[in-house]
A and B are shown apart, each in its own frame.
Chain A
Amino acid sequence: MLELLVSQALNGIQLGVLLFLMAAGLTLVLGIMNVVNLAHGSLYMVGAYLAAQMTAVTGSFLLALPMAVLATLVLGLVLEVATLRTLYQRDHLDQVLLTFGLILFFNEVVRVIWGPTALFVPVPEALDQELEFLDGEIIYPAYRLAIIAVGLAVAAFLFWLIARTRVGMLIRAGAANRDMVAALGVDIVRLNTLVFGLGAGLAGLAGVMAAPILAVESGMGDGILILTFVVIVIGGIGSIRGALVAAVLIGVVDTMGRSLLPMILRELVDRQLASAIGPAVASMLIYILMAVVLTLRPQGLFPARTG
């Protein structure tokens, strides 16, 4: 039983870390730049497709990884310059609408280019194995451990960037008052473009990392986008720390809920009923969690202290 719990906790953390990669980018762009970017999920998808394409071309996932991340970052820059830039001053909902249009576009574009069926990305050879712990009681795929490691490294980098550097301060200041930052001599436009690029790159990284374990297909970004929003809302918009905590929380709760809830229910009520309500409740679990968190703390767990 303990081994099971440990394995499930690892699963939860891994899912959480993947969510964190997404949430970090989105929270930067939303919380800090105050832009609602629904196309964040599309960038994730594009990252995964590019990983597939470049793995196929170069024959190496490890080569494809930086290329795909970079390409997604550049795509993010292009998007920002071409469309979103004019919308910073406008209502959130204009941004919602515009990026919704982008979702439709990207979902279709990848189908036109790569066809409607899912693509294949192999797990890099070195990581394509199961690691055994505790005398084989716990078996865990090496690649998933790699995802956890990458996520934690990114988290550390972001903490440092946002909290400790001048760039981080300027980014936060720009979120509160663009005009004032500019009036003090900082090129806020370029700063925002860079932040958006960073966010896009992170989404791309998430997509690339997910590609070997998930189906690379059109629309793969939509579901995770919603989950990502759940994460940043629970964590507190604009807070990297909140994103990390909430991502892992969501990952673990979702995983534990899916695996333990049906078991527990079966102890409590009869099997028929348990199999009827178990899965339903398990799929609602993260939403219930969000509702509870926001009821108790309407600004999320770590409200970024904005005005």
Chain B
Amino acid sequence: MRATVLAALAIAAVVPLVTAGLGGGEFYLGFATRIVIFAIAATSLNLILGYGGLVSLGHAAFFGLAAYGVGILAAHGVDTAAIQWPVALAACAVFAAVTGLVVLRTSGIYFIMITLAFAQMLYFLFVSLRQYGGDDGLTIATRSRLGPIDLGEPVVLYYLSVLCLVGSLWFCHRLVASRFGMVIRGARTNTRRMAALGFPVFRYQLVAFVLAGVMCGVAGILQANLTQFVSPSYMAWARSGELIVMVVLGGMGTLFGPVLGAAALLILEEVLADWTVHWMLYLGPIIVLIVLFAKRGLIGLFDRRSPPPAGGHHG
């Protein structure tokens, strides 16, 4: 475990050096940053989906909301990170808390669909916001100002993203083993028993939901800075679906699965699309094969020891 972590860190650290060596390194660095950002988003989803059994099909809403937080403030001339980022994250927290009050009353497929409903409402709201570009999106003139750190420098943005990812992973790692994490995981398999034992499960799930939303917001902030652009398509349901795909593809309920899933999906898309216009013709069956043969997601191919994820849905 420790060795794997160190190796992964080492790889992440040298990416800029390697890409600098390639022709057009900036692109590859940008691409790597994108992977890292989506890995953060997928990790945040994994927190509630993989460990908590809460399958949200509206998770991209937080991604888009935070990105809009940055974009809208920037459009009004507020570009210091010290204001932008807390506001963006607070928006995510509030949205998560308010919707969480409703969605957490349901479970199973109902939960999937009601999270989708709220995300769609937000999506249509931003499509209609003409002041902020509506469906055309909003260009962000300058990246967030973060004291002496210049996010305009791709390498800096990359390392910042990696730092955020490491932070998210570490946070998750500690969280799932903690008392709080035990409650969340217990509630996944047997909510009724949790209540009988004396846990007000709803409250714990709500906190987890908010935490995951905020963590996804971090990814959104980084994405806004990477692309200097934000549009409602960031929170379309298909994006939420893609996050689920990343988590499940990599291995849900495992720490590194979502990271692997994000990297695999984005790289596959990139390579296949580079090669043929009909890339979906190949991506689709590849995903099917992975599901059929890598039972616990990609991570299962690497780590044969970790226990199989426990049975299906109970609810």
Residues of chain A having any CB pair with chain B under 8 Å: 30, 34, 36, 83, 86-87, 89-94, 96-98, 100-109, 111-112, 222, 226, 229-230, 233, 237, 276-277, 279-280, 283-284, 287-288, 290-291, 294-295, 298-300
With a cutoff of 8 Å between Cβ atoms, the chain B residues found around residue A284 in the complex are 120-121, 124-125
- What's the least CB distance linking A226 to chain B, in Å? 7
Tell me the complex Cα distance, A34–B312, Å.
Answer: 10
Main secondary structure of the interface of B (DSSP, over half): helix
Task: Check B241 for interface membership: any CB of A closer than 8 A.
Answer: yes
Q: State A287–B123 Cα separation when bound (angstroms).
A: 11
Using known A-B contacts A109-B281, A112-B281, determine if residue A291 contacts B110 with beta carbons closer than 8 Å: no
Q: Residue B295 at the A interface, CB < 8 A? A: yes
A148, B288: Cα distance in complex, Å? 36
A106 CA / B278 CA spacing, docked (Å) = 11
Docked pose: A237 CA to B55 CA in angstroms: 16
Give which listed residue, A90, A103, A222, contacts B284 with CB less than 8 A.
Answer: A103
Q: CA of A290 to CA of B115 in the docked complex: distance in angstroms?
A: 10
Q: Contact at A226–B110, with CB atoms within 8 Å?
A: no
In the complex the two chains form, is B110's CB within 8 Å of A280's CB?
no
Q: Which chain B residues (93-145) contact chain A, with CB distance < 8 Å?
A: 102, 105-110, 112-114, 116-118, 120-121, 124-125, 127-128, 130
Given contacts A89-B312, A93-B248, A276-B130, contact A98 B287 (CB under 8 A): yes
A295 to B288, CA, bound (A): 35
Q: B116: shortest Cβ distance to chain A, in Å?
A: 7
Are B113 and A233 closer than 8 Å at their CB atoms? yes
Nearest neighbor of A296 in chain B, beta-carbon distance: B105
CB distance from A53 to the nearest CB of B (A): 19
* Complex Cα spacing A108 to B278, Å: 7
A36 touches B102 (CB 8 A): no
Q: Give me the 10 closest cross-chain CB pairs, A-B, nearest first.
A: A105-B284, A101-B287, A104-B284, A280-B128, A287-B117, A108-B280, A101-B288, A98-B291, A233-B113, A108-B281
Q: Is the interface of A mostly helix, strand, loop or mixed?
A: helix
Contact call A92/B281, Cβ cutoff below 8 A:
no
Cα–Cα distance between A277 and B110 once the two chains are bound (Å): 28
Closest to A98 in B: B291
Residues of B within 8 A of A (CB): 49, 55, 102, 105-110, 112-114, 116-118, 120-121, 124-125, 127-128, 130, 237-238, 241, 244-245, 248-249, 252, 278-281, 283-288, 290-292, 295, 309, 311-313
* A230 to B114 alpha-carbon distance, docked (Å): 9
Given contacts A111-B278, A294-B106, contact A98 B118 (CB under 8 A): no
Contact B120 A104 (CB under 8 A): no
Take A36-B109, A93-B248, A291-B102 as given contacts and tell me if A101 and B286 are in contact as well, using a CB distance cutoff of 8 Å. Answer: yes
Q: Do the beta carbons of B312 and A91 come within 8 Å of each other? A: yes
Please report the C-alpha to C-alpha distance between residue A300 and residue B248 in the assembled complex, in whole angstroms. Answer: 27
Residues in A neighbouring B118, C-beta threshold 8 A: 287, 291
A13 vs chain B, min Cβ distance (A)? 23
B160 to chain A, nearest CB (A): 31
Knowing A97-B248, A233-B113, A284-B121, say if A108 contacts B312 (CB, 8 Å). Answer: no
Tell me if A287 and B245 are in contact (CB < 8 A). Answer: no
Least CB separation from A238: chain B residue = B109
Q: How far is the CA of A135 from the CA of B109 in the complex (A)?
A: 47
> Which residues of B sit under 8 angstroms from A86, Cβ to Cβ?
292
Give the chain A neighbours of B248 by CB distance below 8 A. 93-94, 96-97
Q: Do the beta carbons of B109 and A90 come within 8 Å of each other?
A: no
CA distance A36 to B127 in the complex (A): 29
Inter-subunit contact A100/B287 (CB<8 Å): yes
